[in-house]
Amino acid sequence: MLQDPLTLYKLIVLYMLDRVTFPLTNAQISDFVLEKEYTNFLTLQQVISELTEAGMISSQSIRNRTHLAITKEGRETLHYFENRVSDAIKADIKTYFRENEFTLRNEVSVLGDYYKSTSGEYEAHLVAKDRGINLIDLTLSVPVEEVAAAICDNWQKKNQDIYKYLIQELF
């Protein structure tokens, strides 16, 4: 059964997004697809763009990462055409998630972004989620952009320790 390769790549992306309970980043999907040598980077970016334009996936940029999630339309499309994804590719995806789920989930569940507020200060917005529920949602105001950026970077590295500290101190 020969099919349009772009269609297969779209179904692979939809299948991946349908198999997780959290968004995946563009980089996470790219890592898997490129590692398995299903296609090249430019073709994959075209596929993701077309899926977004068609409303089958949603895209949200947070700092320097693009978070992707399957939409209702994407799920319905996948339901009709999932049989076009080979069992071998499905097995590769399941293995990838089994081996990397904690890392993948942690990368998209810990968010840190900053912006310039109307007062002229910078606000670092820090979030830690678990299964779509905010465990912590914190905004810190600082006078300098570099400090806000450093807070966001450190949040990625130290969020578990900070959360644990807050829980211990507040309970």
Residues 42 and 100 in one domain: yes
Q: How many CA atoms lie within 13 A of 110 on its CB side?
A: 19
Residues 165 and 96 in one domain: no
Q: How confident is the model at residue 3 (pLDDT cuts 50, 70, 90)?
A: low
Residues 53 and 117 in one domain: no
Q: Tell me what the mean pLDDT of segment 51-57 comes to.
A: 96
Q: What is the CATH number of the domain that holds 66?
A: 1.10.10.10
Dist CA 150 CA 170 (whole Å):
25
- Residue range 78-135, pLDDT digits in tens: 999 999 999 999 999 999 998 888 777 777 678 888 999 999 999 999 988 876 678 8
pLDDT given for residue 111 in this prediction? 81
Examine the fold and report which residue of 108, 139, 155 is the final residue of a domain before the chain moves on: 108
Strand partners, 137: 127
- Residue range 69-92, pLDDT digits in tens: 999 999 999 999 999 999 999 999
Q: How many domains are contained in the chain?
A: 2
Dist CA 131 CA 38 (whole Å):
30
Helices (H), 36-131: 41-53, 72-81, 87-109
Give percent above pLDDT 70 in the chain.
95
Residues 17 and 94 in one domain: yes
Residues 150 and 104 in one domain: no
Residue 131 belongs to what domain range? Answer: 109-170
Q: With 0.75 as the threshold, say if the pTM is over it.
A: no
Residues 11 and 68 in one domain: yes
Are the CB atoms for 13 and 74 separated by under 8 Å? Answer: no
Dist CA 150 CA 140 (whole Å):
12
